[in-house]
């Protein structure tokens, strides 16, 4: 039989604990990388597409209402003052 001293047993236990911590840390970092990829590859383009379409509908409705002049870019001064009265 091989005899293991208490110091050896403590260092083996410490090594196992350090190894488990390192593996858990690597798994955590891998999970974060996967979430970052999900966000940058799937969610960001999806919301960009949605916001772009929403903005285009708003801009086109404004174009139909006021035309493509100064009022399109800077607002219609006549209707904004008339609506306040």
Domain residue spans of the chain: 6-70
**In terms of pTM, does the model score above 0.75?**
no
The sign of the torsion formed by the CA atoms of 35, 38, 41, 44 equals negative
* 4 vs 74: which has the higher pLDDT: 74
Q: What is the pLDDT of residue 14?
A: 66
- Taking only the tens place, the pLDDT of each residue in 15-64 is 678 889 999 999 999 999 999 999 999 899 999 999 999 999 998 998 88
d(CA 56, CA 62) in angstroms, rounded, equals 10
Q: For residue 50, with 0-12 CB atoms within 10 Å meaning exposed, 13-18 middle and 19 or more buried, which class applies? A: exposed
């Amino acid at each position: 039989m091989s005899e293991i001293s208490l110091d050896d047993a403590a260092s083996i236990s410490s090594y196992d604990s350090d190894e488990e911590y390192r593996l858990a840390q690597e798994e955590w970092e891998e999970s974060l990388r996967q979430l970052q990829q999900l966000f940058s590859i799937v969610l960001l383009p999806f919301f960009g597409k949605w916001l772009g379409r929403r903005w285009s509908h708003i801009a086109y409705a404004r174009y139909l209402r006021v035309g493509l002049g100064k009022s399109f870019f800077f607002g219609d001064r006549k209707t904004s003052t008339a609506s306040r009265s």
